[in-house]
């Protein structure tokens, strides 16, 4: 690398002429400056042209320091005096390599000084002289640099970290801790957390992009951008969060998890931190858990009186499995906690297995899964059965082994609660079969399945009436005379028109006909139709009831509920309710939805056979079946 000089490389690349080089060398000898600076001062070339030429000629990557995150632990390895002398900026540490941005990558002296000072192997990157001087001012005086960003943040917005770590693991960690605990860094992270808590956010997403550090908060299930920070603060902010969560600050290649206990304005919050390596740096997600939510009542979850009665009936059974299903973020864990709050008593031994424990419940034994040491759901569940439990809550049925042990627990007289990721109640049966549970065991052990979603509720301060569109009338089976509502947007709801969320539910109780159908491997569609004919309210129908009641909007229903089939038992052609007309199986007397009473559309394509006794309906009474 040291064989060719800067001037020769520039001449070879055509950036500088021989005459220009001679002039620059003469000027350098008289003023005793660096050749690159002399060339720029004489107007023979620009800093950017020199840097781009060196990058192509030497095969060294060119970086823009204003849009590059600089790690505090890298800065601490090299003193400011050395950085200014050689025009270098330490950027990152990668295992045993120190990444250095240099204005002159041909300087052997700079390489030797940095290698001696840091003890690392050096990997060079190119940057302009102006960019390096700017970065030195920013990162070697981080407190004053960040103060310009957070100068308007009020000091009262304090976030007190409960049990913040003070132990050190060596000089480098202590140096980084001091850097990340500079007052402006603390104030910036405090602002991010406090603003999210004040707006009722459930998650904070700290996302590195190519040119910035983006902060987004999830409020009522949707992400909203709150701020864009300069790219160069990325290292300091993420290091501060990782130190608060007792994570390994030197590990950036692998995902990590941690937790922070904080107090904000009298509120105690538990923050769950997750980091993953992304293409522009570590992405951090902070989940905000408010301990006040651990005492949620089933009455406050959005259940109607009929649904509440059904739920209370199935959760008080002496044994069996009750499953709560839905996608991530649909409130399954909150529902389980509400159920446990309802049924816990001093006479019952209740134990939960969770990953992680989200809220602490008094009167309930809670165990956190720890995969690293082999404490998995199946392992803990096996051990738990020797602890004389009455009620067991398993955080999630994510594999066949866990599902099998849960079924065995239910068969031996235990009441088991758990969650599973499926789209509907009947889809859960298919998922259990996929996990290897035989149909006859599903039919024997399951007491009930509850599918749920969360929909945003209309802000009551800006709610207005509106007429349903023709599309809404046709698709959802609404009557044109029924008003619907929306939120106009006001300061109380931050202009969204929504404030808070409420649950919508689909409850499938395992009655004997349902058990018999499952045991004979009935399809999802057969199970669904029979469940509806026996009174099951679908997710779509439940959501529509909340639309008509003015609780949520039609748009929100479309966002949360997946398919037209979920919108109850309304005819897809004329929207007439279908509950009124059935055909009866001549063999067993079972009722099956057959023909729309409004437009007489054939709805029996799936009903060649009775779902209960498998009698051939078309052969016995084709005229009535296909009116």
Please give, one letter per residue, the 3-state secondary structure of 36-68. HHHHHHCCCCCHHHHHHHHHHHHCCCECCHHHC
Q: How confident is the model at residue 217 (pLDDT cuts 50, 70, 90)?
A: very high
625 DSSP assignment:
H
Is residue 156 predicted with pLDDT exceeding 50? no
Question: How far is Cα 516 from Cα 341, in angstroms, rounded to an integer?
Answer: 33
Is residue 483 predicted with pLDDT exceeding 90? no
Question: How far is Cα 160 from Cα 253, in angstroms, rounded to an integer?
Answer: 29
- Say how many residues make up the chain: 627
Q: What is the mean pLDDT of the chain?
A: 80
Q: State residue 435's pLDDT score.
A: 94
Is residue 568 predicted with pLDDT exceeding 80? no
Q: In what order do the strands lie in the sheet with 391-394?
A: 365-368, 350-354, 391-394, 415-420, 320-325, 446-458, 498-509
First and final C-alpha spacing in the chain:
87
162's tokens: 């409960």
Q: State residue 627's pLDDT score.
A: 31
Q: Measuring CA to CA, which residue among 33, 37, 58 is closest to residue 46?
A: 37
Is residue 16 predicted with pLDDT exceeding 90? no
537 DSSP assignment:
P
Is residue 584 within 8 Å of 577, Cβ to Cβ? no
Q: What is the pLDDT of residues 487-539, one digit of tens each?
A: 998 988 888 899 989 999 999 999 998 999 999 998 888 888 788 877 788 88
């Amino acid at each position: 690398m040291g064989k060719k000089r800067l001037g020769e490389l520039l001449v070879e690349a055509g950036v500088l002429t021989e005459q220009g080089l001679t002039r620059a060398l003469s000027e350098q000898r008289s003023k005793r400056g660096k050749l690159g600076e002399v060339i720029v001062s004489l107007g023979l070339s620009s800093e950017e042209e020199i840097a781009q030429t060196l990058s192509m000629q030497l095969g060294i990557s060119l970086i823009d320091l204003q849009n590059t995150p600089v790690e505090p632990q890298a800065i601490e390895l090299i003193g400011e005096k050395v950085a200014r002398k050689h025009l270098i900026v330490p950027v990152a540490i990668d295992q045993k390599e120190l990444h250095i941005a240099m204005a002159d990558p041909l300087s052997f002296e700079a390489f030797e000084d940095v290698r001696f000072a840091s003890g690392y192997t050096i990997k060079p990157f190119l940057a302009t002289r102006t960019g390096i001087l700017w970065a030195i001012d920013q990162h070697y005086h981080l407190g004053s640099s960040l103060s310009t960003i957070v100068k308007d943040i009020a000091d009262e917005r304090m976030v007190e970290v409960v049990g913040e770590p003070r132990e050190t693991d060596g000089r480098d960690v202590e140096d980084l801790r001091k850097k990340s605990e500079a007052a402006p860094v603390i104030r910036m992270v405090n602002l991010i957390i406090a603003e999210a808590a004040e707006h009722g956010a459930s998650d904070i997403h700290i996302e590195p992009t190519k040119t910035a550090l983006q902060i987004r908060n999830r409020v009522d299930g949707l992400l909203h951008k709150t701020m864009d920070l300069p790219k160069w603060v990325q290292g300091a902010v993420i290091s501060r969060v990782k130190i608060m969560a007792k994570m390994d600050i030197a590990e950036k290649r692998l995902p990590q998890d941690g937790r922070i206990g904080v107090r904000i304005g009298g509120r105690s919050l538990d923050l769950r931190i997750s980091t993953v390596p992304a293409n522009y740096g570590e992405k951090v997600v902070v989940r905000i858990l408010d301990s006040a939510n651990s005492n949620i009542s089933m009455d406050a979850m959005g259940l109607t009186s009929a649904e509440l009665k059904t739920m209370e009936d199935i959760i008080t059974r002496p044994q069996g499995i009750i499953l709560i299903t839905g996608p991530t973020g649909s409130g399954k864990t909150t529902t389980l906690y509400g159920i446990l709050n309802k049924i816990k008593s001093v006479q019952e031994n209740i134990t939960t297995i969770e990953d992680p424990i989200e809220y602490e419940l008094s009167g309930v034994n809670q165990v956190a899964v720890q995969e690293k040491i082999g404490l998995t759901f199946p392992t803990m569940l096996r051990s738990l059965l020797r602890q004389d439990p009455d009620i067991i809550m398993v955080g999630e049925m994510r594999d066949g082994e866990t599902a099998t042990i849960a079924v065995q627990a239910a068969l031996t007289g235990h009441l088991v609660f758990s969650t599973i990721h499926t789209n509907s109640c009947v889809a859960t049966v298919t998922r259990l079969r996929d996990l290897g549970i035989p149909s006859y065991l599903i039919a024997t052990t399951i007491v009930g399945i509850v599918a749920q979603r969360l929909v945003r509720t209309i802000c009551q301060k800006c709610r207005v009436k509106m007429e349903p569109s023709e599309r809404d009338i046709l698709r959802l089976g609404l009557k044109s005379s029924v008003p619907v509502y929306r939120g106009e947007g006001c300061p109380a709801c931050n202009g969204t028109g929504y404030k808070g969320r409420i649950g919508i539910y689909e409850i499938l109780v395992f009655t004997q006909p349902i058990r018999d159908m499952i045991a004979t491997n009935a399809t999802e569609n057969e199970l669904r139709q029979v469940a509806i004919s026996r009174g099951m309210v679908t997710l779509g129908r439940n959501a529509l009831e909340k639309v008509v009641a003015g609780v949520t909007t039609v748009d929100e229903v479309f966002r949360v509920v997946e398919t037209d089939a979920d919108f109850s038992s309304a005819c897809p052609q004329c929207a007439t309710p279908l509950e009124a007309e059935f055909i009866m199986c001549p063999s067993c007397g079972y009722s099956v939805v057959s023909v729309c009473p409004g437009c007489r559309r054939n709805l029996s394509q799936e009903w060649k056979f009775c779902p209960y006794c498998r009698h051939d309906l078309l052969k016995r009474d084709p005229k009535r079946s296909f009116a």
